């Protein structure tokens, strides 16, 4: 099991509170009931939220791994990171000096929330769902080693249904979501994320399934 920095910080916080409880137990025994009640109120929700966050990241990581063709991880932005974030990218993958991708992608809080909502069983086709699922697919293509944004976007769209299926959607629901992204989101993407119709379309140069009429 992967222990993220966030989980380590949570455990450290729990250890500090445990130490405080220990000190209170021996120095102010009369207040111990109040102390442990306060600790329980703090620790139980924190532990539950952390457990749920880790479980959600594992589910998204599994979906990304199917696209990346290797075991990779997804890390969702925390509340504090979201408050201070000024970037526009919904996901990032780091590449080393040799051009090798990292084993994990970092996804913005909103995109993770949209993807988690879709994975919860709410498989309606909405703009947020389409973007959330696609961000996972797009970054997973980066994790496969592609750096060019236009090519990654084209390949990512063709894996949106794969991610949607991994998050519990039926084949019909997954394909409907992928089609929505292609028709409603892709045309408005910045220039560096788009290709010509001859390159990225059904039967186009970068169509991964030229013998199939299904697109994307």
**What DSSP letter does each residue of 197-211 carry, written as one string?**
TTTSSTTSTT-S-TT
- Give CA–CA dist 55/151, Å, rounded: 31
Q: Does residue 167 surpass a pLDDT of 80?
A: yes
Alpha helical stretches, state H, 28-125: 32-68, 79-84, 109-119
Q: Does residue 27 surpass a pLDDT of 80?
A: no
Burial of 178 (0-12, 13-18, 19+ CB in 10 A): buried
Q: Does residue 132 surpass a pLDDT of 70?
A: yes
Give the predicted TM-score (pTM) of the model. Answer: 0.81
Residue recorded with tokens 């750096």 = 147
- Give CA–CA dist 168/62, Å, rounded: 12
> Which pLDDT band, with edges at 50, 70 and 90, does 83 fall under?
confident
> Which pLDDT band, with edges at 50, 70 and 90, does 28 fall under?
low
- 6, two tokens: 């966030």
Q: Does residue 3 surpass a pLDDT of 50?
A: no
- Report, as an integer, the average pLDDT of 183-199: 97
Q: What percent of the chain has pLDDT over 90?
A: 69
* Nearest alpha-carbon partner for 93 in 82, 78, 107: 107
3-class state of residue 195 by DSSP? coil
- Give CA–CA dist 186/188, Å, rounded: 5
Note the pLDDT of residue 55: 83
Q: Does residue 214 surpass a pLDDT of 80?
A: yes
- Report, as an integer, the average pLDDT of 132-158: 98
Q: Is the preceding omega at residue 216 within 30 degrees of 0, hence cis? A: yes
- Pair 69, 26: CB distance under 8 Å: no
- 85, two tokens: 């974030």
Q: Does residue 130 surpass a pLDDT of 90?
A: yes
Alpha helical stretches, state H, 72-203: 79-84, 109-119, 127-143, 149-157, 160-166, 171-180
List pLDDT tens digits, range 174-186. 999 999 999 999 9
For the chain, give the longest Cα–Cα distance: 77
**Phi and psi dihedrals of 76, rounded to 5?**
-90, 140
- Give CA–CA dist 56/85, Å, rounded: 21
Q: Does residue 52 surpass a pLDDT of 80?
A: no
Q: Does residue 9 surpass a pLDDT of 70?
A: no
What is the residue-averaged pLDDT of the chain?
86
């Amino acid at each position: 099991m992967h222990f993220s920095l966030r989980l380590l910080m949570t455990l450290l916080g729990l250890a500090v509170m445990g130490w405080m409880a220990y000190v209170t137990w021996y120095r102010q025994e009369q207040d111990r009931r109040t102390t442990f009640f306060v600790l329980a109120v703090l620790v139980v929700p924190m532990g539950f939220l952390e457990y749920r966050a880790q479980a959600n990241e594992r589910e998204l990581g599994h979906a990304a791994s199917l696209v990346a063709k290797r075991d990779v991880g997804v890390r969702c932005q925390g509340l504090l990171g979201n408050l201070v974030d000024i970037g526009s990218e919904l996901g990032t993958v780091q590449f080393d000096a040799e051009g090798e991708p990292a084993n994990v992608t970092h996804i913005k809080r909103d995109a993770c929330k949209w993807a988690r909502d879709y994975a919860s069983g709410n498989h309606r086709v909405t703009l947020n769902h389409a973007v959330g699922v696609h961000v996972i697919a797009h970054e997973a293509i980066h994790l496969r080693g592609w750096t060019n944004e236009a090519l990654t976007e084209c390949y990512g769209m063709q894996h949106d249904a794969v991610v949607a299926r991994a998050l519990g959607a039926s084949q019909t629901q997954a394909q409907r979501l992928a089609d929505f992204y292609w028709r409603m989101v892709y045309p408005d993407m910045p220039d560096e994320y788009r290709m010509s119709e001859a390159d990225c379309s059904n039967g186009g140069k970068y169509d991964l399934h030229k013998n199939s009429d299904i697109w994307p």
